[in-house]
Amino acid sequence: MQCSNVLSLANLTKIGRVVLALAVVLSFSNSANAAGDAVAGKGSYAICATCHGPAGEGNVALNAPRLAGQEPWYIDRQLQLFRDGARGTAPGDTQGMQMRAMAMAVAQPDAVANLIAYVETLPVTPAPATVTGDAAAGKTAYAVCAACHGQQAEGNEALGGPRLAGLDDWYLVRQLDNFKNNRRGYHASDVYGMQMKPMASTLATPQSINDVVVYINSLQ
Ligand code: HEC
Ligand code: HEC
């Protein structure tokens, strides 16, 4: 009795080790599939770097926002929106049109996953403040935004609201302007953009846009 208990315990330990080893292999391959191959992605990122910067830090002169720190699911969705013509096709959206051409060049799901995996390795540094406004007024205006973007603007994947903290303030201003003026959230397949569009309209003036962006910039 005692002996068989010891034996079965030894067997259980062995089985346990095999299960554990399998679990490690499986979780490794799962995460590799879901997250892509960052090493392969580094090669394709070279083209992106010409506008978004070698460390994904953004380039205001080229209108290209920082990508470092952005959530993988959100980057994936934006690349798809650009590819589908749900972003970057509205009249007057020069910047979106530039990016659309780039997104169309990377269509293979594997290539996209690899690129995103590489972007996730880029260092997250604070975005410099380039917009001026009233942070206290912005904080009041931000109360409605927090429902989908989080109290600290950290993002909310369940509601599809991207992280806003740490993004370039000039880029946030432009996107709010785009939503307000039908250059984003206009396409039937852009379900998330259409949710965001009426929210941008709660910011009545350019000053109120600046105020909320100054507050968001203070959250990083
Ligand atoms: C020719 C310059 C250029 C290149 C090259 C480029 N982009 Fe962009 N990208 C832009 C611009 C400009 C925007 C902003 C578009 C806007 O204002 O709506 C942008 C926006 C984006 C966004 C949306 C960010 C957000 O917060 O919504 C993502 C994601 C992105 N680019 C990824 C990439 C990737 C990945 C590559 C490489 C395959 C790449 N870009 C190459 C210019 C470029
Ligand atoms: C009902 C939920 C909801 C609320 C409330 C909301 N947003 Fe959004 N917001 C979204 C979603 C979803 C997206 C992503 C749209 C997409 O995928 O293109 C978004 C996108 C954005 C973007 C673009 C980010 C980027 O990287 O391009 C900005 C800027 C933004 N929101 C600011 C705000 C501000 C400021 C407020 C408050 C006035 C606000 N949002 C309120 C859901 C919301």
Q: Which residue has the tokens 């432009």?
A: 174
Please work out whether the CB of residue 213 comes within 6 Å of at least one atom of ligand 1: no
The pLDDT of residue 205 is 96
Tell me, in angstroms, the distance from the centre of ligand 1 to residue 24's CA: 35
> Does the pLDDT at position 12 exceed 80?
no
Q: Which residue has the tokens 């010409």?
A: 50
Query: Which of 50, 59, 99, 164 gets mutated to test ligand 1 (max ligand atoms within 8 A of its CB)?
Result: 99
Digit-coded pLDDT (tens) for 98-152:
999 999 998 899 999 999 999 999 999 999 999 999 999 999 999 999 999 999 9
> Does the pLDDT at position 32 exceed 70?
no
> Does the pLDDT at position 26 exceed 80?
no
Q: Residue 154 and residue 74: Cα distance in Å, rounded?
A: 12
| Mean local confidence (pLDDT), 186-195 | 96
| Mean local confidence (pLDDT), 38-66 | 96
Instruction: State the closest ligand 2 atom to the C-alpha of 147, by its place in the atom list counted from 1.
Output: 5
> Does the pLDDT at position 6 exceed 80?
no
Task: Pick the more confident residue, 161 or 220.
Answer: 161
| Mean local confidence (pLDDT), 179-193 | 96
- Residues 6 or more apart whose Cβ sits within 8 Å of residue 156: 148, 149, 150
Instruction: State the closest ligand 2 atom to the C-alpha of 184, by its place in the atom list counted from 1.
Output: 18
In the structure, what pLDDT confidence band is assigned to residue 31 with cuts at 50, 70 and 90?
very low
Residue nearest to atom 13 of ligand 1 (CA): 64
Share of the chain above pLDDT 70, in %: 84
Tokens matching residue 123: 């260092």
The pLDDT of residue 35 is 67
> Does the pLDDT at position 169 exceed 50?
yes
Output the average pLDDT for the chain: 87
Residue nearest to atom 39 of ligand 1 (CA): 48
Measured from the Cβ of residue 67, the count of other Cβ atoms closer than 10 Å reads 25
Tokens matching residue 142: 């931000």
Q: Residue 148 and residue 171: Cα distance in Å, rounded?
A: 19
In the structure, what pLDDT confidence band is assigned to residue 9 with cuts at 50, 70 and 90?
very low
Task: Pick the more confident residue, 43 or 7.
Answer: 43
The pLDDT of residue 107 is 83
Residue nearest to atom 11 of ligand 2 (CA): 161
- Residues 6 or more apart whose Cβ sits within 8 Å of residue 189: 81, 84, 86
Instruction: State the closest ligand 1 atom to the C-alpha of 116, by its place in the atom list counted from 1.
Output: 35
Instruction: State the closest ligand 2 atom to the C-alpha of 87, by its place in the atom list counted from 1.
Output: 18
